[in-house]
Amino acid sequence: MDIERLVKNSVKDVENYKPGKPISEVKRELGLSDVYKMASNENPLGSSPKALKALKRELKCLNRYPDSGCFYLKDKLSKILEVRPENLTIGNGSDELIALTLRAFLNHSEEVIVAKPTFLMYELYSRIEGARVKVVPMKNFKYDLDAIRQAVTEKTKIIFIANPDNPCGTYVNRVEVERFLSCLPDNVIVFHDEAYYEFMDVEDYPQLISSINRRPLIISRTFSKVYGLAGLRIGYGIASPKITEYLNKARDPFNVNSLAQAAALAALDDGGFVKKSLELNKRGREYLFAELQRLGLEFVKSWTNCIVVKIGRNAADLVNYFLKNGIIIRNMSAWGLGEYIRVTVGLEKENRKFIRLLGNYLLNSEQ
């Protein structure tokens, strides 16, 4: 059987995405009982308590298919965001919004533009859909919107922008993004990924919802980060009714399970949990910035819940050292940055242990 001859060319050569290792895997493989995960930009505080309560109630209804139209969640989101339900697509994680955008709008061999380093799923899904992917390097770990604009050709169909970015945690501001959008031809779709939107407490962060009817634009957000629901897989897209109609045509009818819908709906009412999560993150991030500086390490000033740190030599060794000592962090080699790591801001005890191990590692490797 020659499966190689059967598989689609666009899938054959795609590299598998390597997510942060699950805690259970590290415990199992290394025989550890206590493991901290600081590798996938999750909420270290847990999940919204209101969401957990809603889940218990929803457990009684698992014999039924979920609401394909996510009526209640769209109704609530539309009031919060001041849009119409017809502007909303609910996805199995905001990852699915990326996939749906490509599935609905990209013809084979059309071009997609992504930055580097940025969220890896843009390139991966684009390649699976048979896109030509143009990669535009960042400038000082920030999106270079001028260079992206210059990379646009008549073949360009979709531009992905993570704002703020993962892994860098940097953002492009309202003036920069609006100028960028105004210079683009209107046959190019901009996917503005706002997975870390809630972390942005700055005045000049772009507010693009008012632009969704003016140009082809899809804004995506998620319940995976500040609401602590990554395991349920739920996110949403905001776009014009026409774009939304096509995104919905491209999705599976039951793409968002009923537990995820119930939890997300309740989480939107849990302002207290969001506030606590953001405060914890801010404190932890400030602590890590100060300690990294004390250790003499270069890092990217992040606005989100992760920090890219330069180790200055192959970081694989350090990532293994951390694993053996019960902390999962991310090696940046998948982004072509072998000398860097990415760490997610954790609980206070996790941040302290991270810094202690890092200090020990640096001291031992100097000797």
Ligand X SMILES: Cc1ncc(COP(=O)(O)O)c(C=O)c1O
State yes or no: residue 206 binds ligand X (CB under 6 A): no
Other Cβ atoms within 10 Å of 272 Cβ, number = 11
Identify which of 202, 206, 166, 208 has the alpha carbon closest to the alpha carbon of residue 300. 166
Please work out the total of residues on this chain that contact ligand X, with binding judged by CB under 6 A: 13
Dist. CA 26–CA 21, nearest whole Å: 7
Phi, psi of 219 (to 5 degrees): -105, 135
Closest to ligand X by CB, 264 or 355: 264
Q: HSE of 317 in the Cβ direction (CA atoms, 13 Å)?
A: 9
- Least distance CB 272 / ligand X (angstroms): 22
- Judged by CB under 6 A, the chain residues 32 through 51 that form the site for ligand X are 41
Closest to ligand X by CB, 219 or 357: 219
State yes or no: residue 95 binds ligand X (CB under 6 A): yes
Burial 308-347 (b: 16+ CB within 10 A, else e): bbbbeeebeebbebbbebbbbbbbbbebebeebbbbbbbe
Closest to ligand X by CB, 41 or 248: 41
Closest to ligand X by CB, 93 or 346: 93
State yes or no: residue 235 binds ligand X (CB under 6 A): yes
Closest to ligand X by CB, 226 or 309: 226
Please choose, out of 80-88, 89-97, 133-141, 290-298, the segment that lies near ligand X by the rule CB under 6 A.
89-97
- 137 strand-pairing partners: 116
Q: Contacting ligand X (CB under 6 A), which of 94, 126, 258, 281? A: 94
Q: Contacting ligand X (CB under 6 A), which of 224, 244, 331, 344? A: 224
- Judged by CB under 6 A, the chain residues 154 through 193 that form the site for ligand X are 162, 166, 193
- In 3-state terms, what secondary structure has residue 235? strand
- Least distance CB 138 / ligand X (angstroms): 14
Q: Contacting ligand X (CB under 6 A), which of 48, 222, 240, 277? A: 222
State yes or no: residue 305 binds ligand X (CB under 6 A): no
Please choose, out of 50-58, 91-99, 210-218, 260-268, the segment that lies near ligand X by the rule CB under 6 A.
91-99
CB 39 within 8 A of CB 308: no
49: CB partners within 8 A, 6+ apart: 270, 273
Quote the distance between the C-alpha of residue 65 and its chain's center.
28
Closest to ligand X by CB, 46 or 185: 46
Closest to ligand X by CB, 194 or 357: 194
CA–CA distances in Å: residue 55 to residues 46, 134, 248, 264, 357: 14, 42, 25, 10, 37
Dist. CA 165–CA 115, nearest whole Å: 10
DSSP code of 117? S
Please choose, out of 4-12, 92-100, 128-136, 307-315, the segment that lies near ligand X by the rule CB under 6 A.
92-100
- Give the residues lining the site for ligand X (CB under 6 A): 41, 93-95, 119, 162, 166, 193, 195, 222, 224, 230, 235
